[in-house]
Chain A
Amino acid sequence: MFKRKSSLNKFDYFNYIFLILISCITIYPFIYVLAGSFNQGTDYMNGGVYLFPRVFSLDNYKMIFNDNRLYIGFKNTIARTLIGTPAGVFFTAMVSYGMSRKDLKFKKQIYWFNLFTLFFSGGLIPYFLVLKTLSLNNSFWVYIVPNLYSVFNMIIFANYFREIPEEIHESAVVDGAREFTIFWKLYLPLSKPVLATIALWVGVFHWNSFFDSMLFTTDPKLQTLQLFLVKLIKEASLGQGQANIRVPAHVMSTISITTVRYAAIVVSSIPIFMLYPFVQKYLVKGVMLGSVKG
């Protein structure tokens, strides 16, 4: 191991100060919105609210919870995350199991067929037209079905499955177990760390995506939370007003669109804020797993 120097030298001091500075810059934007979201709107516009709310108020949150689009957004985003994550992880894991087996016929060809898609794509419009032909556009399933399978995640799963001792598979075959049973009852329980990591990645993807909602759906009932937020941010920055919000008059007089936007930002990030500290290590693990063979 390294020799431990007992004292810190000049470089260390510079380094610690620099890293603390970077951390502050990274975390500050979140403190900024949090403080603003709990401040009274008209008061906020006088400036000076940078760390803590000055005139504490929950009106921004009341206002945003008055907007029906928030509920629709939450409903769709929660639904796609809760359905899309297990479905995507299960489907990809099952394909990966097949891909990881040594006795897979045309293994090499199937691998190349998978890898090719990482380097070439038909582009947005043909993809859109395929979804349209399948009647997936303007349907909730456009959030689920096209995200069932990921070649990247397949590679990570398959690498992990290959590390599982072959004896486990052999003895199960001797006991008369079918391949699917081996996958479901033996391989999946043995792959909990990688399952957790991939599930989190897929979950974060579902929670954060707005692209598919914006492109492939036009029905306001299918709008996801992030798309609602995009609209709120864009409308406000262009000064178009909030036609859909029903607001009590006494609230309206002290409200500002800026602080309402902050409240929406905070509300839509709550699951990420709350889960992040606990799941961080699993998310990091994913990069490690992926970089082993990559």
Chain B
Amino acid sequence: MNKTSSTKFNFPVFFMAMLGVVFLVIFNYLPMFGIIIAFKDMDGVINITKALVTKPFVGFQNFIDFLNDKYFRDVMINTIGLNVFQLVLSFPAPIIFALLLNEVRHLGFKKTVQTITYFPYFVSWVVFGGIVISMLSSDNGIINVVLQKLGLIKEPISFLANPNYFWSIATVSGIIKGLGWGAVIYLAAIAGIDVEQYEAAIIDGANRFQRMLYITLPGILSTIVILLLLSISNLLNSSFDQIYVLQNQLNLDRSEVIDTYVYKIGISEMRYSFTTAVGVFKSFIAFLLLWGSNTLSKKYLNRGIY
């Protein structure tokens, strides 16, 4: 290293890095300080900067209001229920898919499957959700037609008009859209496993299934744990685009989650303080979940994010 360059203050370099800092101050740190809105009563105010100074603190009133809100129970059940449901089913899917894909020796076939299954990830949820809605339609939608042909149902079902189907629809459509792309990171991890391990296992007489179970799976365990921890800390973050597109008045009972609720009452009804409190509540739970799951993971799996 050139000694003079490491000791001298390099202004252009500092300036470039500070541009990022300035950006973050405006678009990330200012909103963080905006959390005080949750402790004031600023619902419906027009001049925010003025109200931030003049309005008195109301303590935890907005949080209490949320806990007593008539939608609180449903919104919490939906947010947690839907996400747990999705986590349990859609978390393992890309891992299994990556393991199966890894067993394919025909390179052309593998590439084709990858090209096809990655694709839905790149279209928007508006497009994909729009397709899902029409496929599920009770009006000659393909799903109803197939189910009727198979004799599983007699009358067409209006799937999206019944709240009870919503979680399943969101989960299955989410798996189809994200399956292929979700496998990419695991395939990268598998590619990083030392080939010698497989060679040694073959000499020892391990069959393919044993190699998958005792070499490939442990080889990607770190990746699995990190992604699982991140998913758990995201338990209250719903996929807004997806839920919003699939949601309608008829399935609202099981489709209204924190994110869609905050959008509706926060921006449309200008209940700034109330919804900020909901947001803070959400971040707080997310932090607890990340901390808790990371602690457990460190204790039992010796792996963690930090």
Contact = CB atoms under 8 A, between A and B. Distances in A.
Contacts of B17: 95, 98-99, 104, 110
A173 to B, nearest CB: 7
A284 B35 contact: no
B103 interface: yes
B286 to A, nearest CB: 9
A1 B196 CA distance: 9
A133 B49 CA distance: 8
Nearest to B6: A103
Contacts of B145: 47, 50
Nearest to A128: B267
B133 A233 contact: yes
A139 B101 CA distance: 46
B51 to A, nearest CB: 10
Interface string A122-160: 111111111011100000000000101101001000000
Contacts, number: 281
Interface residues of A, number: 100
B6 A122 contact: no
A265 B248 contact: no
A31 B35 CA distance: 47
A178 interface: yes
Contacts of A103: 5-8, 10, 13
A72 interface: no
B263 A215 contact: yes
A211 to B, nearest CB: 7
Nearest to A11: B208
A123 B16 contact: no
B19 A95 contact: yes
Given A16-B109, A110-B17, A173-B5, 7 more contacts: A98-B13, A98-B19, A125-B276, A127-B31, A151-B20, A238-B249, A269-B123
B37 A98 contact: no
A18 B208 CA distance: 18
A102 interface: yes
Interface stretch (A21-29, A58-66, A78-86, A245-253): A21-29
Contacts of A113: 21, 24
B283 A125 contact: no
A114 B23 CA distance: 10
B184 interface: yes
B177 to A, nearest CB: 9
Contact of B140 (A46, A92, A287): A46
B16 A94 contact: yes
A192 interface: no
B119 interface: yes
A21 B111 CA distance: 15
13 contacts: A16-B109, A23-B112, A29-B176, A33-B131, A102-B6, A103-B5, A124-B262, A124-B279, A126-B31, A179-B10, A233-B126, A269-B127, A277-B115
A255 B223 CA distance: 51
Contacts of A120: 32, 283, 287
B2 A170 contact: yes
Given A130-B27, A133-B49, A149-B23, A125 B37 contact: yes
A204 interface: yes
Given A25-B176, A127-B31, A284-B118, A104 B14 contact: yes
Contact of B9 (A3, A105, A117, A125): A105
A18 B184 contact: no
Nearest to A145: B27
B130 A261 contact: yes
Contacts of B37: 125-126, 129
B134 to A, nearest CB: 6
A19 interface: yes
Contact of A265 (B24, B104, B130): B130
B8 A27 contact: no
Interface in A221-257: 226, 229-230, 233-234, 237-238
A117 B122 contact: no
A123 B35 contact: yes
A32 interface: yes
Nearest to B115: A280
Contacts of A15: 100, 103-104
A285 to B, nearest CB: 10
Contacts of B132: 29
Given A32-B142, A98-B15, A284-B184, A229 B122 contact: no
A36 to B, nearest CB: 8
B26 interface: yes
A269 to B, nearest CB: 5
B266 A125 contact: yes
A113 B124 CA distance: 31
Contacts of B10: 101, 103-105, 179
Interface string B26-41: 1111111111010000
Contacts of B12: 98, 178-180
A76 interface: no
Given A210-B124, A265-B127, A105 B14 contact: yes
Interface in B223-272: 223, 226, 240-241, 244-245, 248-249, 262-263, 266-267, 272
B139 interface: yes
A117 B31 CA distance: 11
Given A105-B10, A121-B283, A265 B34 contact: no
